[in-house]
A and B are shown apart, each in its own frame.
Chain A
């Protein structure tokens, strides 16, 4: 399967702990995106990479959030000092450059902060 993959699929953590999620995009895609989705809402944009460069960050991405894509392939999203409000599905998507911007999503990491 050459789709977007994400690990772990589920994460339960206690408030105040740090968590890290990984995303492996479709291999020929140079653009990678992180979104967050809460119940009853559509996904909300968090950040965007073109190759290894992080080119855009949403205001939703507080100082506790950091994302990297060190070699322009996989990406990690870290949340420090988790809060209950961080509980959500974290979705990763990838796309080719140019075109209409079709993005393909991974299965997501569901985070529960207790």
Chain B
């Protein structure tokens, strides 16, 4: 079983749509959680951290369910510029920060 699992997509949605991505992780001792965004042939960029209480940043909402070892990302009112790969990331380090990445979910937003 992969340490972090994501549906690779692609998710094809029209502008203005709401889209949700899910992710599961295997290590129950994981300490912190993130969503990164990666454009084609570019480096991953931190989108947001994910907190147990859930958190929102503009059109983006992240949720964490530790009991189910499940992380989600909701994007509302999709923009063309949201087209990218979204990486679910888990910090598994003990004493240091070792990020474990999912394979990513590709999002394509069309006009």
Name the residue on A nearest B92 (C-beta).
A45
Q: Mask for A24-38, Cβ within 8 A of B = 1, else 0?
A: 000000010101000
Name the residue on A nearest B104 (C-beta).
A42
Please state if B34 and A42 are interface contacts (CB–CB under 8 Å).
Answer: no
Q: A40-B103, A41-B103, A42-B104 are in contact. Are A105 and B96 (CB under 8 A)?
A: no
Interface size of B as a range = 20 to 34
Please state if B97 and A95 are interface contacts (CB–CB under 8 Å).
Answer: yes
Q: A40-B103, A41-B103, A91-B43 are in contact. Are A100 and B91 (CB under 8 A)?
A: yes
Q: Mask for B80-96, Cβ within 8 A of A = 1, else 0?
A: 00000001010101001
Name the residue on B nearest A102 (C-beta).
B46
A9 CB to closest chain B CB (Å) equals: 11
Docked complex Cα distance between A108 and B41 (Å) = 9
Please state if B34 and A102 are interface contacts (CB–CB under 8 Å).
Answer: yes
Please state if B99 and A101 are interface contacts (CB–CB under 8 Å).
Answer: yes
Please state if A107 and B103 are interface contacts (CB–CB under 8 Å).
Answer: no
Docked complex Cα distance between A107 and B49 (Å) = 21
A93 CB to closest chain B CB (Å) equals: 8
B100 CB to closest chain A CB (Å) equals: 7
Name which of A40, A42, A93, A101 has the most chain B CB atoms within 10 A of its CB: A42
**What are some 28 contacts across the A-B interface (CB < 8 A)?**
A31-B97, A35-B99, A40-B8, A41-B103, A42-B87, A42-B101, A42-B102, A42-B104, A43-B44, A43-B99, A43-B101, A45-B98, A48-B96, A48-B98, A55-B96, A56-B96, A95-B97, A100-B31, A101-B31, A101-B32, A101-B97, A102-B34, A102-B46, A102-B49, A103-B46, A105-B44, A105-B45, A107-B43
Residues on A facing B (Cβ under 8 Å): 31, 33, 35, 40-45, 48, 50, 55-56, 91, 93, 95, 100-108, 110
The 9 closest A-B pairs by CB, nearest first: A42-B101, A101-B97, A105-B43, A100-B32, A101-B91, A43-B101, A42-B103, A107-B43, A105-B44
